[in-house]
Every structure is written in C-alpha cells, then in structure tokens.
Amino acid sequence: MPENQGPDKTFRDGLAKGQINLQQCNDCKKFIFFPRVLCPHCKGQSLTWHPASCGGIVHTTTTVRRKPERGGDYNVCMVELAEGVRMMSRVDEISPAEVTIGLPVTAFVGEIDGVPAVLCKPVEE
Amino acid sequence: MVDQLRGKSAIVGVGHAGFGEAPGFSAYDIMAQSALAALDDAGLKLSDVDGLFCTMMEDAMPVLMAAEYLGIQPRYVDGTMTGGSSFVNYLTSATLALQAGLCDVALICYGSNQRTASGRLVTASKLPPYEGLYNPRYPISAYAMAAARHMYEYGTTREQLADVAVAARAWARHNPEAFERDALTREDVLGARMVGDPLTTRDCCLVTDGGGAIVMVRADRARDFPKAPVYVLGSAAASSHRQISQMQDFTVTAARDSGKRAFAMAGVTPGDIDVVELYDAFTINTILFLEDLGFCAKGEGGGFVADGRIAPGGALPVNTNGGGLSCVHPGMYGIFTVIEAARQIRGDAPGLQQDNVELALAHGNGGVLSSQVTAILGAASTV
C-alpha cells in the first residue's frame, strides 16, 4: 500500500511538528480550509501547501458554560486567518468572557487532550 | 418546469403521537403511532401506502427499518438525511414521486423518544473532524456563534432573542398539545441558566419525545378524502455547508435562496402568507428566517419580533403551535412545521386557530443552519 499522503494526513503531520500549513489553489490563488483534494472556489485540483501567517481575527465566539467541577467555562470561536480561511479554534491566555468579536489573535499549535490543535492567543501589544 | 408542480400534490392526512413524554416507547413505536394517526386522518390504511419518506436519529438505514416495522414493502422510498429539514424536503420528493407515478400514497413519518430515553438532545451526527476537538456543545455552540455575530453586526439584543421565546410560549399556552404551557416572561428567559453565550436554556428548544406523520396524494384525487386537502404550492431546498466553520456569512442562511424559489414556484409573496411556521431550534433561528424569507430586511429581525409582533394578536402569526421552543422538539422538529401549517389551513389547529388561513409557510432547518427547506401550502382556493 502506498504511503498515506492524503491532505488530512499532511495537515496533521504539520501540526505534529508544530506547523500550521494551509493549502493554496494554484489557479484562483485562494487559500482553503479544511484540507481537501480540490479548491471549493474554482474547483481547481492543483493545490500547494504553505506555512500559515498565523495572524487572525476572532470572527465570532461563544462561551461554553460548564460546571466548575467538570473544568469550568471554556471558549469556542471561529478564527479568520489573514489568508482568508476560517476555522474553529479556542482562545487561550484570557478568560472566555474576554474573547470578543474582532479580537486580533495569533494562531499557534497547542494541544487538546494530548492531540495537536490550532489554538489562538491575543496579539501581544 | 418546476412551476408545473405547483398544486399537483396535496396533504390529505396529518397525525402525531407521543408528544412530551412517552416512557417505554421506542422511537419506531412513536413513528408508527404517528403514521397510524395520519392514515386514520386520511381514511387510509397502512396497506395503501406505497411510498415511504422517513429518516430517524437511530440506525444507518432508518427508512428500511421504518418500512420493516410498519410491515409494508413500499415501491418508492426516500431517506435523504438533511437533519430537521428532511421532512419538509420530502414534500418535494413525494410530489415528484407521486407525479411520476412512482407511488400513489406517500407517507412521511418520524418519531423520537429522546426525552425519556436519554433526557438530552440526541443528534445522529458525529462531530465534524476539524471541530470536534474543540468540544463545542453540539449544536448549541454553532447557533450561539451565529447569534453573537448577528448581535455584533446589527445590534440585535438578548431581549429581542428573548421575545422570540416569549412569543412561542404565548402561543403554546393556548395549545393543549404543547409541552411547556407555563407563563414565560422576557426576564425569565434572560435570567435562565446560560448554556452557550448569548443563549440561555430558554433560548433553546425543548427536548421531548414525539412523532409526526403526513399522508400525500396527487391533487387529482385529493378531494376524495375526509379532510379538506392542503396543496403544496411551492417547495424548495438550499444547502450551504455542513460544518458551522464553513458557513460563509453567519448572519445569512440559505433560506434566502430556498425561500425565493419556493415563493416563485407558488406565485405568492411574503405579504400574502397568513401563518408562518419556522424551525425554531433556538431563538436566533426565528429572527434569521424571518429576515432571509423576506418578512423583514436583513438585520431588522430583532426589532421585528419585539413587542409581541409575532405573538398571538400580533401582526404576523409565527409558530402558532408554540414551536420547538414550547410545543414539541423530539430531536428533529421539521415535520411539525408542516403539520401545524396544514392544520391552520384546514381550520383544525389544536391551539389558537387563525381566521381564514389560505396560505401558510413551513420552513425546515437542518444541521447547524446548514440545510434550509421552504414550503408554501395552500387551501383549495389558492390552487
């Protein structure tokens, strides 16, 4: 069997090395997320991986309320990266109540339950 | 082409079962009780059914399970799963199948026992791969983020969201079939437990048991049944995404597209509609759909629902049974928008029957604002 080189594996391999990589369409030049084998915009099939800039803005956000004994409240948000792609993420380092729409953030590779994940933190002033 | 389907099929029976709590009954038991009730309403028997349109939260092949349970061998089945909108979507596929002669009696049915079985909202779906890791509370977190964005862009307030729940309850208080009938104020909604900012428990739909069913035939024989036929004048679907992270604009749903095409097919406009039945899984839904279906401009939904405008006695009757917020919400509510719309047109709604209802809109939502299906139903006078 050939080595697994599918787009999901490529993305996750990047995360495992601490890198956030995004696919860019060679035809329409748009970046895309989630990883896949075609461009959902122009339907082109030629895609190239690039390291993400990691600059982003919180597009919308919610606080998931959870009992303190189960770990307390936590943030779930949509972050829009400078490349124009949007993904689910979580803003760390500030309380969930402080995460607001429009907040400038930096995306980084952290961990959730031992699994590498794209997380965000507020841009340092 | 699609115009040729206008008024070519009709609902001749509706039924429901297990509203609220049905301890000990399985989802398929409740589905079957609903089917029997709808067939009885139509004066038909299970053996008359040759087209089955069904999906359930349980099993990977629910339409086959349903046919097996009912003891029928339908010659046409559709089990397309687009979430709670599925059952509104079946109005289109049933119309097509009937019109093509692929079946003569179409049964649309659903049932769920999720309140007594688990006590919480059950969804048929696994969390999407790029979202599950963040542990969003599915589906509340998705709708909460849509609400937050609507508030950010248009100044919609939590009070206006609360007014949607208050209006739904005001309708439910008159409906003996509704599960929640206690008085509910704006303060009650705002002061309820926050589950996913900005939504409290009272911004969220009920978790109940319940099932519903609809019987459809071709229009040419629709007058041969005991109840006044309700014609499908327009029906249209639009799909925009599956994962909430892929929703292009969190304040605009595909209902804008499904609504436009359903109205065009029916040849009517929002101003013609007598009653509106929307899938109100969360209070933000009602606001989004009123905007996207053209009852008010984008961004004005919050102001539109305030001050009792969609409540009993208001300018526009919306969710006249109490909706998913106060009447019934057994996992997927879509079928009940059609049932209430049909009953309002027939004049036998269980709660506040509106006067002279000729045109009703039923709108189903599926997934996380992912699938939108709009149907326009009409009395014989509208065909």
Please say which residue of B173, B200, B231 terminates a domain.
Answer: B231
Verify that B284 and B360 share a domain, yes or no: yes
| Unique residue bearing structure tokens 């919050």 | B302
CATH code: domain A7-122 is 2.40.50
d(CA B197, nearest CA chain A) in Å = 5
Residue B269, in any domain of the structure: yes
Chain B residue numbers with beta carbons less than 8 Å from the beta carbon of A113 are 133
B223 and B286 belong to one structural domain: no
Total count of domains within chain B: 2
Give me the mean pLDDT over the B110-130 stretch. 78
Assigned domain for B225 exists = yes
Q: What is the pLDDT of residues B142-169, one digit of tens each?
A: 999 999 999 999 999 999 999 999 999 9
Query: Mean pLDDT over residues B124-131, rounded?
Result: 74
Examine the pLDDT at B126 and tell me if it is beyond 70.
Answer: no
State whether B182 and B110 are in the same domain: no
User: For residue B37, what are the CA distances in angstroms to B119, B177, B211?
Assistant: 26, 15, 10
Locate B151 and state its tokens.
């508030």
Cα(B382)–Cα(B371) distance, integer angstroms: 28
Average pLDDT for residues B235-262, to the nearest whole number?
A: 97
Is B374 within the bounds of a domain?
Answer: yes
Q: Answer whether B249 touches A (CB < 8 Å).
A: no
Chain A contact for B244 (CB, 8 A cutoff):
yes
Domain membership flag for residue B203: no
Q: Indicate if B143 and B56 belong to the same structural domain.
A: no
- The secondary element (H helix, E strand) that includes residue B10 is strand B9-20
Q: Which of A8, A101, A113 sits opposite B149 (nearest CB)?
A: A101
pLDDT at residue number B123: 61
Does any domain span residue B96?
yes
**pLDDT score for B369:** 98
Are residues B214 and B338 both part of a single domain? no
Q: How far apart are the CA of B243 and the nearest CA of chain A, in angstroms? A: 10
How far the first Cα of chain A sits from its last, in Å, is 50
Domain ranges of chain A: 7-122
In a domain? residue B124:
no
The parent domain of residue B64 ranges over 2-119+209-231
Ramachandran area for residue B103 (φ above 0: left; ψ -120 to 50: alpha; else beta): beta
Q: Which two tokens stand for residue B169?
A: 């309850």
Q: Using CB atoms, which residue from A76, A101, A102 is nearest to B134?
A: A76
Q: What is the mean pLDDT of chain B?
A: 96
* Cβ burial, residue B4 (10 Å; 0-12/13-18/19+): exposed
- On whether both B272 and B294 belong to a single domain, the answer is yes
- Confidence band of B183 (pLDDT split at 50, 70, 90): very high
Q: Give mean pLDDT, residues B122-150.
A: 87
pLDDT of residue A45: 97
Query: What stretch of H or E contains B51?
Result: strand B51-54
Query: What average pLDDT does the segment B86-112 reach?
Result: 98
Q: How far is B194 from chain A (nearest CA, A)?
A: 7
pLDDT at B274 over 70: yes
Q: What is the ipTM of this complex?
A: 0.96
pLDDT of residue B47: 98
Q: Are residues B157 and B216 in the same domain?
A: no
Kindly list the residues from chain A whose CB atom is less than 8 angstroms away from the CB atom of residue B146.
Answer: 60
